[in-house]
Chain A
Amino acid sequence: MKRQLVLEDGTIFVGEAFGSEKETIGEIVFHTGSSGYQEVISDPTNYGQIIAFTFPQIGNYGINRDDFESIQPSIKGVVVKEAADFPSNWRSSMSLPDYLKQKDIPGVCGIDTRKLTRLIRSKGTMKAAICGMGENVDILVSRLQAVEFPTDQVKRVSATKPYPSPGRGKSVVVVDFGVKHGILRELTKRGCDITVVPYHTKADDILALQPDGIVLSNGPGNPEDVREALDMIQAVQRAVPLFAIGLGHQLFALANGCKTVKMSMGHRGSSYPVKDLETGKVLFTSQNHSYEVAEGSIDAKILSITCRALNDRSIEGLEHRDYPSFSVQFEPESSPGSEDAKFLFDRFLQVMNEENTSKGMVDQHA
């Protein structure tokens, strides 16, 4: 069945339908990884987005039980050159089209995704719709231009109640702005005793859990829409070590007086080079963000920049000058993509240890 992808600038791509048959509207972005589609599709950071994959054959190894980044995917659609109808991998339990159908997410395949990518590169991310061939394109385009996307994405993907993921190690509170399973996996791997709390949890409630450290998770949308978290961050960073990732990093920056801005097309891929300004070494990082901390908005007395993207020099990491808090814009948990930055979780554990020692506390959980 034919189906079309319509962009707010009026560009139309005609392709074949797969996945759910419903129509959809979302923000179209492209992802450059040749593998990792299952993780990308289920990443809560991508809430509301229509994801176009630049790699032309997506779904080759199917969908498996283990590699989800959330229980319920929250993207609006998938655009590919070819969606594999016959996956082959020992862990595969269903095909990508079947999965999207099951999760009621529409897809369109058979389109020139390179043309689409080049278009987004020159015009920036756009609003887009996936719809049937009968749709009146002119009306749809004006509708697209007028549509306002929700600003409460975080609320929609965050946990509504706290829940534990018990361990016998460091007690870590994860503030869920749309947390990827990958972050929880890395903490679990290091034996942490995790409590995941909703994004609007108050500082007092968090500190009442007596955590050794706090993780501000990744999440979708504009950090300015989550200002309610700023007070909490300002309060907890004084008390315990804090590690902020993705949206968490942007909120950490806002809480410390910075500004954030939307990028033209963002960074979405498995292997972005980031330079560690201290060691001079380059890390390859998994990235997925539309916003960045504004250059020049950083008060050097409060925060220092720890790393930058090698190519566009954008800010990729911050560190608090007074508190044991640090943040990264990229995704150190990978899933999908390069695992070069996983050591940051070790560093977080180390910071928690040092903090405990300096406070004269005995590590009760070791």
Chain B
Amino acid sequence: MPKRTDIESILVIGSGPIIIGQAAEFDYAGTQACLALKEEGYKVILINSNPATIMTDTEIADAVYIEPITLDFVSRIIRKERPDAILPTLGGQTGLNMAMQLAEAGVLEECGVKVLGTELSAIEQAEDRDMFRTLMNDLGEPVPESDIVHSLEEAVAFTEKTGFPVIVRPAYTLGGTGGGICENMDDLNEIVSSGLKNSPVHQCLLEKSIAGFKEIEFEVMRDANDNAIVICHMENVDPVGIHTGDSIVVAPCQTLSDREIQLLRNTSLKLIRSLGIEGGCNVQLALDPQSFQYYVIEVNPRVSRSSALASKATGFPIAKLAAKIAAGYTLDEIMNPVTGKTYACFEPAIDYIVTKIPRWPFDKFESANRLLGTQMKATGEVMAIGRTFEESILKAVRSLESSVYHLEHPRGAHLDMEEIEQEIRKATDERLFFVGEALRRGVAIETIHEWSQIDLFFLHKFRKIINLERQLLDHPFDAEKGRKAKESGFSDIVLARLWNVTEQEVYEWRTSSGIIPVYKKVDTCAGEFESDTPYFYGTYEQENESEKSGRKSILVLGSGPIRIGQGVEFDYATVHSVWAIQEAGYEAIIINNNPETVSTDFSISDKLYFEPLTVEDVMHIVDLEKPEGVIVQFGGQTAINLASGLEERGVKILGTSLESLDRAENRDKFEQALSEMNIPQPKGKTAFSVEEAVKIADHIGYPVLVRPSYVLGGRAMEIVYEQKELLHYMENAVKVNPEHPVLVDRYLVGKEIEVDAISDGENVLIPGIMEHIERAGVHSGDSIAVYPPRNITREMKDKIIDYTVRLAKGLEIVGLLNIQYVISQNELYVIEVNPRSSRTVPFLSKITGIPMANVATKLILGDTLQNMGYDTGLAPEQEGVFVKVPVFSFAKLRRVDISLGPEMKSTGEVMGKDRTLEKALYKGLIAAGMEIRDYGKVLITVADKDKEEALALAKRFSGIGYGVMATSGTADFLKNHGIKVEVVGKIGSDGPTLIDVIRQGKAQLILNTLTKGKQPQRDGFKIRRESVENGIPCLTSLDTAEAILGVLESMVFSADAMPKEA
């Protein structure tokens, strides 16, 4: 069928901010889809609240709305734009849920908007647990014994029938929010209660546990003519019981015979056909390891994280094809974009093994519960391709950038057998590494299988890795064994350690012995047809398929997996850099390992190498491609960290030199540079020992800010108020030594300012200055940033511009830099300079229209600002107010303290823009998922030092009709100052306590500053977690509270009684 001509304009809904369970994969899908629709000549209207995305670039869609994805705002845009159709299946669960709401509210009907692709009724049938189960019964497809419950009582009744363990899955949530496995009645109590709260329809599915079954996924597509294909099947290394987003996944399936594959293929195709899906769909199945018995776990009637993975694993662009199908095409009419010679109606054949490993945020959240279950906890993932499973998984391990390069755990050698058994039985993010440790100690794979249920096939492969490791130990620099090690994915770092030499020595020995990788093409067809796709992976075999072109090339390093502190913003900058390189006439080559991103779409760059980002892996590509140089400043800290290793090996780092990078990042050199430039910074020093830290702190005075040097996203950064806390920090949070010093700085209370600038070495363009709502001390990534700044004087602004220009020149920056300032007592201090692209680059680029990554790339390649038409100094300020609001994923991470501090905790961000600050903030906050009620009650529990400030806020809350609740201490204080307060009991007191108030939803907003000390036992912590669990906004910064209060005040009319007549 040819494309639909009854429609001209199409609304695409994005997925909003990055949260756990919904990451960069939807930027990839959305970008592909928008471009595919534009290619067909449709007018594409896009709504997405997340500015850090490629899809919200004005080149991607015809009309881009960075607005909250709420019924209210989307309806407004529909009424204004009057699109002919809507495509709801590309924006993750957010997009789907929004489309359902629009349909239910009658907006689609009112505006005559057709739904493209899968019909909403089909989506409902797949998503609604009850309807889905009925469908499965009608089709005769087995589903695990289960029941929908609406209350705890119903849940108890179910378990009386089936027994434990049971799995709880809340309806209509993403990433399994609020779900889990219950082993007993206590678990049931907790998980069902939170699940019911998390589900927008207050439903949970209780399911008899089939933990231990093989978990298999099929990515399938179907068109309106009922052609249905399997793009890829995947097997989870971790059996059923761990969310697939938290599982190590291999493609294609490894341990299934053809009969099992065909059995599940038939079921998957039967499901997509009976649901009538037009587009992509993910089917999750469980297969008994001992029989042909299988169960359908769930169906996602949309593109998903798994479809992004399947696209990258096979080369088949699922989202692009889903968009074409939605536009009316059938698969047999569309050419396979990879071969260009065959049709898209085919099932990819692959001739390599793909492994995905999730990236979890536990390095940042030490107190978080690392146990994996049905609720996803990973923020991102890495993928690696190899010709054997061993090669593929070891490449994936070193792509994680978790300081682990092998199947080993830093604590491994110190644990006794019993502890290792416990670790493996527990199924945490570290299990893979403990399995390695157990094998190293000679534990039988059958025993490990019993502990973990991991298939013997995989365990045997791990055993082969460990056995090879032993052989290598005994045969240093043995060419045959060395080659075998490389074929099995061993990194040079590991070989160096085994042989007690440096990594460089291994590299040199190896390359001189001819043990170097070749690059194979990802071509969707296992080599059967010719293809021109520039998509490669490295492996140790005979034939190299990646030929160096005759053109001059530039290599760009990507930013690896999405993690807290290094999100999709860096992929945005990477992609723009690639485009700029192409505009400048060079061949752009990219290396990255994140399957979710736009940058790893092979159609973006001239050449894509899907490889780990380590010095070794990058060097191999440099050796082959001989690029003019390497650009490291867009790939976040990942790429920056590689700069010195690359330069040591003779690679040219383009843009800001390594020396200058070091000057900005090395504390002492930085301090010296600043004093030479006469720019002040908070007093501080580098400590190489605990004693030194104490001495420095005594000298500069408490409170002090402490952190390890060279960190990303403020990892392990804390404000300490006294020596006892400092000692605790030094002993627990960091391991200080001469190689890993700790920075101790005076903590200045004041206003934080953030600036991004672009420099060519002579001139410095400042696209914008942002002011943070939260005072210094809250990580910039977790602060609300406001553009343009509102509360700084003309003089201060000039000073900021002056410092920024001088810093950029003084540090000899060529390209981007990001600076954090604090204004304390009317004095401007530099807190830090990041000589690279930053989180705010897409935000500012979109506001100002200055394509910052593009301009910076051109400067790096030798152009000048003047030549490009830019002046030195601050760019003209834009009309309106723009806010960047952080978004957190606390609901998914139990035991994590949500209080804001110097350590970054947010996973994503949204933008709010409007004519006034209050309106922009309102949009930002609701886009971030906060519910703002113009009346209700606020519960205030604050530390003594905050009481004065809290009083002012309480007065204003009272003033707009909000009820004030507080625990006795705070309540007395407020009462004494004439505020009507409802007293609630403290935790542990008789009668209803504030925990009850929170659970019963009696407060609409919670203000809590009881921090200090991160022990979860503390009451403050309990209050904060309880509010997260119950979905009530809890503010831990009085500045955020004041900003929200401002919004509330602007929403309500004043209610002051008339003054008494004199």
B255 within 8 A of A: yes
Q: Which of A54, A66, A310 contacts B351 (CB 8 A)?
A: A54
A33→B455 CA distance, assembly (Å): 22
Q: Quick one: which of B347, B351, B456, B541 contacts A88, CB cutoff 8 A?
A: B456
The binding surface of chain B is classed by DSSP as loop
Check A311–B541 contact: CB distance below 8 A.
Answer: no
Out of B257, B343, B352, B526, name the residue touching A310 (CB < 8 Å).
B343
B235-260 residues at the A interface, CB under 8 angstroms: 252-259
CB-based nearest A residue for B455: A88
Inter-chain CA distance A13–B541, complex, in Å, is 11
Docked CA distance A49–B527 (Å): 20
Instruction: Flag whether B345 is at the interface (Cβ < 8 A).
Output: yes
CA distance A81 to B230 in the complex (A): 25
Nearest Cβ distance between residue A61 and chain B, in whole angstroms? Answer: 5
Interface status of A72 (Cβ within 8 A of chain B): no
Alpha-carbon gap, A275 to B262, bound state (A) = 20
Interface positions of B from 309 to 365, Cβ below 8 Å from A: 331-332, 341-343, 345-347, 349-353
Size of B's binding interface in residues, CB under 8 A? 52
Pair A114/B528 contact, Cβ less than 8 Å: no
Among A44-60, those with CB < 8 Å from B are 54-57, 60
- CB of A336 within 8 A of CB of B388, answer no
Q: CB distance B528 to A57 under 8 Å?
A: no
Within 8 Å of chain A (Cβ to Cβ): is B1054?
no
CB-based contact A282/B388 at 8 Å: no
* Residues from chain B with Cβ under 8 Å of A89 in the complex: 255-257
A-facing mask of B455-479, CB < 8 A → 1, else 0?
A: 1110010000000000000000000
Is A356 in the interface zone, CB < 8 Å from B?
Answer: no
Name the segment of A162-170, A248-256, A265-273, A320-328 touching the other chain: A265-273
Expressed in whole angstroms, the Cα–Cα distance for A310 and B252 within the complex equals 24
Contact indicator B262/A60 (Cβ below 8 Å)? no
B528 x A117 contact (CB < 8 A): yes
Q: Across the interface, do A86 and B542 meet the contact criterion of CB distance under 8 Å?
A: no
B129 on the A face (CB < 8 A): no
Inter-subunit contact B226/A338 (CB<8 Å): no
Q: Say how far A106's CB is from chain B's closest CB, in angstroms.
A: 21
Q: How far is the CB of A166 from chain B (nearest CB, A)?
A: 25
Return the chain A residue nearest B254 by Cβ.
Answer: A60
Instruction: Kindly supply a per-residue 1/0 record for chain B positions 210-254, scoring 1 wherever the CB is within 8 Å of any chain A CB and 0 otherwise.
Output: 000000000000000111011000000000000000000000111
Could you tell me if B258 and A284 are in contact, using CB atoms closer than 8 angstroms? no
Q: Is A238 an interface residue (CB 8 A)?
A: no
Q: A35-B257, A121-B527 are in contact. Are A311 and B353 (CB under 8 A)?
A: no
For the complex, is A281 an interface residue (Cβ under 8 Å from B)? yes
CB under 8 Å from chain B, chain A span 333-349: 334-340
Q: Give Cα distance in the complex from A34 to B253, angstroms.
A: 9
Does residue A91 face the partner (Cβ distance < 8 Å to B)? yes
Q: Which chain A positions have C-beta within 8 A of B265?
A: 338-339
B913 within 8 Å of A (CB atoms): no
B351 A311 Cβ-Cβ under 8 A: no
Beta-carbon contact of B347 and A118 below 8 Å: no
Residues in A whose Cβ lies below 8 Å from that of B528: 30, 32, 54, 117, 121, 269
- The CA-CA distance from A64 to B257 in the complex, in Å, is 9
Instruction: Contact check, A113 vs B351: say whether CB atoms are below 8 A apart.
Output: yes
- Asked if residues B258 and A86 are in contact (CB atoms below 8 Å), the reply is no
Q: Which residues of A contact B457 (CB under 8 A)?
A: 60-61, 84, 86-88
**Which residues of chain A come closer than 8 Å to B460, judged between CB atoms?**
86, 88
B543 at the interface (CB under 8 A from A): yes
With a CB–CB cut-off of 8 A, which chain B residues contact A270? 258, 347, 349
Chain B nearest CB, measured from A281 CB (Å): 6
Across the interface, which residues of A come within 8 angstroms of B345, CB to CB?
273, 282, 310
Q: Given the interface contacts A114-B541, A118-B527, does A57 sit within 8 Å of B388 by beta carbon?
A: yes
Q: A81-B388, A115-B541, A115-B543 are in contact. Are A55 and B351 (CB under 8 A)?
A: yes
CB of A54 to closest CB in B, whole Å:
4
A117 CA / B289 CA spacing, docked (Å): 33
**Which chain B residues border A296 with CB–CB below 8 Å?**
none
Could you tell me if A269 and B261 are in contact, using CB atoms closer than 8 angstroms?
A: no
Q: Could you tell me which residues of chain A, from 74 to 116, have a CB within 8 Å of some CB in chain B? A: 81-82, 84, 86-91, 111-115
* B258→A282 contact, CB < 8 A: no
Q: A62: nearest residue on chain B (CB-CB)?
A: B257
A121 to B542, CA, bound (A): 17
Query: A271 to B526, Cβ gap below 8 A?
Result: no
- Residue A21 at the B interface, CB < 8 A? no
Binary flags per residue of A291-307, CB closer than 8 Å to B gives 1, else 0: 00000000000000000
Question: From B449, which residue of chain A is reached at the shortest CB distance?
Answer: A88
Is B541 a contact partner of A55 (Cβ separation < 8 A)?
Answer: no
Chain B residue numbers with a CB within 8 Å of A335 are 258
A residues sitting closer than 8 Å to B (CB atoms) are: 13, 30, 32-36, 38-39, 54-57, 60-61, 64, 66-67, 81-82, 84, 86-91, 111-115, 117-118, 121, 269-273, 275, 280-282, 284, 310-311, 334-340
Closest 10 CB pairs of A and B: A88-B457, A36-B258, A115-B543, A336-B258, A54-B526, A112-B542, A117-B527, A271-B347, A35-B258, A32-B349
Which B residues are closer than 8 A to A by beta carbons? 225-227, 229-230, 252-259, 261-262, 265-266, 269, 289-291, 331-332, 341-343, 345-347, 349-353, 387-389, 455-457, 460, 520, 525-530, 541-543, 545
Known contacts A34-B350, A54-B351, then 9 further A-B pairs from the complex at CB < 8 Å, ordered by chain A residue:
A56-B351, A56-B353, A87-B457, A115-B543, A271-B347, A284-B229, A336-B262, A337-B262, A338-B262
